[in-house]
Amino acid sequence: MVSHRLQAGGTFVAAAAAGDQAGAAPPVKLTLPDGTSLGMPQAAVVVGSSGDADLQVQGANVAAQHARLEFKCGRLFCTALAGDPDLLLAPTHCWLDGVELRPGVSYMVAPGARIGLGAPDTCLTCSFEEGGSSAVAEMMLKGFASTASKEVQEKLGGV
């Protein structure tokens, strides 16, 4: 597992890494503010200033365990771990495309989204291909297919 540390001046550098956890790495690439890219080493990583964080970020307002990135069912989710979950408008110093996240709430991250940590301009850019299926989309497709012509149904492969 690779971890990185944000130093003064906004640059990330390699830091000591902990042992790898079991499981295949998801197809998510994180681009750091200095342009360095790295793959998510496992399906869930904690980002923060602590030596225990999977991705270490040092900077103003970065908590020891600041955010959790989790890739599941072909989608990436971000949960702000900083802030008081009992206070709806508690500052988390964690932004998704410029919008501050609420503590303890899991947000779906779109491909190419920017996650700000500590300050809105200290961002990780997340690149991945969305996958998985949406139950609503599948239900709609099946509904449309059931009323379609036989030719369309055959092209859809028996959806």
The arithmetic mean of pLDDT across residues 41-64, rounded, is: 87
CATH class of 3-128: mainly beta
pLDDT of residue 80: 92
pTM: 0.67
Spatial separation of the C-alpha atoms in residues 60 and 122, rounded to whole Å? 10
% of the chain beyond a pLDDT of 70: 74
pLDDT of residue 115: 92
Task: Write out pLDDT tens, residues 112-149.
Answer: 899 998 887 778 888 887 766 666 666 777 777 778 78
Sheet arrangement for strand 114-117: 37-39, 29-31, 119-127, 114-117, 94-96, 99-100
pLDDT at 22 over 60: no
Between 5 and 27, residue with greater pLDDT:
27
99: helix, strand or coil: strand
**Binning pLDDT at 50, 70 and 90, where does residue 44 land?**
very high
Spatial separation of the C-alpha atoms in residues 50 and 46, rounded to whole Å? 10
- C-alpha atoms less than 13 angstroms from C-alpha of 151 in its C-beta half-sphere: 0
The arithmetic mean of pLDDT across residues 36-55, rounded, is: 89
**Domain coordinates in residue numbering, the chain:** 3-128, 131-159
pLDDT at 61 over 90: no
